[in-house]
Amino acid sequence: MAKALEMIFVTEEGKSSTISVDNPKEPVDVNQVKQAMQQIIAQNVFITSSGDIVSIKGARVVERNVEDVEVL
């Protein structure tokens, strides 16, 4: 089972941009995530094809299960 924290932002052109962090520390602290997202916006460290990141859209923890199937 793989988990990832997805931080979703809005860019200058109004499009969504997602930054994903694998295996986040659990339980996820909402205040720390919000603070980290605010710092990403303030420091303008990421470049997107649709402009600078300008605001927070949301965040979520995504969990997926992968099961290999032996076909040979």
Per-residue DSSP letters for 19-42? EEEES--SS--HHHHHHHHHHHHH
For residue 7, is it within any domain? Answer: yes
pLDDT value for 22: 95
- Single-letter amino acid, residue 63: E
- The number of folded domains in the chain is 1
- Per-residue pLDDT for 1 more than 80? no
For residue 55, is it within any domain? Answer: yes
**Reported confidence tier of residue 28, pLDDT bands at 50, 70, 90:** very high
What mean pLDDT do residues 37-61 have?
96
- Per-residue pLDDT for 59 more than 90? yes
**Full domain range(s) for residue 42:** 2-64
For residue 39, is it within any domain? Answer: yes
Please give the share of the chain, as a percent, with pLDDT higher than 90. 89
For residue 41, is it within any domain? Answer: yes
pLDDT value for 67: 87
Task: State how far Cα 39 lies from the chain centre.
Answer: 14
For residue 70, is it within any domain? Answer: no
